[in-house]
Each structure stands twice: as C-alpha cells, then as structure tokens.
Structure 1
C-alpha cells in the first residue's frame, strides 16, 4: 500500500482531499509516442494517493498508457482560479477484478449521474480500469487569511 500524500490535519490538504473525493471530473493528461500531450476529462474514484478511472479500451489515453505511464491530473479551478489542485504520477492499465474497492466508491459517487443505468451496464463500455498512483500533488487556495499552498511531497 502507498502512503497518502495529504495530511487531513492541514487545512489546504483537507480541502484538496474533499475536492478530490467529490468533484465529478478530473483532467487526465497523457502523452503519445511522439511526446505530444493529450488531456481529457474523466470520471474518477479517489483513495489517497490513488485515482481510478474507467475507460473504453479503444481510446487514445489507453493507447498512450501502453507506451508512457507518466500522467498529469488537474481539477477544474474553483474560486475564480484561486482554488487549484494538480498532480502527477504513474498509471497502469488494470482489470475490473483488481479494483473492487475503487469500483464500489465509483458506483456510489456517480449513481446520481448514471440515473437508471446500472453500473454493470456502464462498465460494458467503460471496461478498462486505469489506476494512477500520484507521487506529486500541488494545491493552493485563497482564503481571507491569505494564500494556502502545499506542494507534496514536501521538499527539504
């Protein structure tokens, strides 16, 4: 098991963790064989420091990950650009049977968006789990007391 990046006793970390747990979309950045960036919005489950995404197997991002495991992630900014969460790490393609905990969390998170469609039916299309282990996370937000900023892991 990988140690968490966020410290829930630190306000900016707790805020970033809440956003990662509840935001419906994160932007996943991959690179193609020529090093050209490719960024797409995806649904995801969060269990610090792991993001799990479910994809169609025929997408560009899946093809890119077969060549380059390095990825970037970013939530949409909130607070008119003063509430930012970005990160990076390594991704691996997985199998549905290997991500049961993430699948349960994902199902609970997105049940309202799936409506009447059962998760099992949705997974017939989005059948390829992508497991991203973040090794870097940067979060900042403006507060009435000033800017809260964290770059994890801490350097020095």
Structure 2
C-alpha cells in the first residue's frame, strides 16, 4: 500500500474498522461513468480487502474491465464521524473463493460467525455460491 501506514496513530481507527467491521460499500464504475455501489462482506488480510462474489455480478464485470474501486466503511460514531474511505484497484484472483479462504478461513469464520448462522448457509456453500475472489489493493486512504 503506497503511502498508507495503518500502524500510525492517525490511521489506527481505519485499521480497527478494517479488521472489525462486517460490511463495506464496494463501489465500481461502468464504462459510461455510472457508479455502482453495493454492501458486501469483506476480509482485511495483509494489506488487501478480500470480497467474495457470485461470478456474474456487475461488480465482477466492472473489476474485470479495469474499473477503479472505492471501499467505504459505514460511518459510525454518534454523529457519523467514524469514516474510512479507501481508493484503489482490484483484480480477480484465479484461486477463487475456496483457494483464497484457505489462507484465513478460521479468522473469517470467527468474524462472520453470527452472519453465517443468520444467512443459513454453511461457509463451504457460501464459498461455492460466491466463488469469485476479488482482491482490492488500496492506494489512498481518507479517514476521520
């Protein structure tokens, strides 16, 4: 991550939110400039945000076409003052969700245990349904 140091005091909140928040808004742009934003589960690992998706979604199409990506964590705090916005690039990982998950499966299951139970689908089935793995690499961070 060029220019982004999540260990600095200034970005401590961003690091915490990236590790703990369950939902991020994943925004891509179509060829005609139309933005497309969707809330997704994500996992922060080794300087990347990982998103698993069904293969035929708009976001996957946009990533394959080279769209820039913005990740926006939901504003928290009493007055919406916990904000983290990351801008960067994304690519489809050829290993797919199952291959990527092998690297952090236990941590992913801990993070999303309640959501997986509520969703009513075991992680293996989630990995099959949301089989496309998107690797987002941030280049710019805004946080306040």
What band does the TM-score fall into relative to the shorter chain? Answer: 0.7 to 0.9
How far residue 70 of structure 1 moved from its aligned partner, in angstroms, is: 1.2
Query: Which one of 61, 64, 80 corresponds to residue 63 of structure 1?
Result: 61
Aligned to 1:144: none
Give the secondary-structure state (helix, strand or coil) at the position aligned to 2:15: helix
Per-residue CA shift, 1:16-65, capped at 9, x if unaligned? 11111111100011011212110110000012521000000011100111
Aligned to 1:123: 127
Structure with higher RCO (Cα < 8 A, 6+ apart): 2
Aligned to 2:16: 18
> What is the alpha-carbon root mean square deviation over aligned residues?
2.0
The structure number with the bigger radius of gyration is 1
In the aligned structure 2, how far is the partner of 1:114 from the partner of 1:9?
A: 33
- Unpaired segments ≥5 residues, structure 2: none
Ranges of 4+ aligned residues in structure 1 off by more than 6 Å: none
Give the secondary-structure state (helix, strand or coil) at the position aligned to 2:107: helix
In the aligned structure 2, how far is the partner of 1:7 from the partner of 1:75?
A: 15
The size of the alignment, in residue pairs, is 138
TM-score by length of 2: 0.85
TM-score by length of 1: 0.79
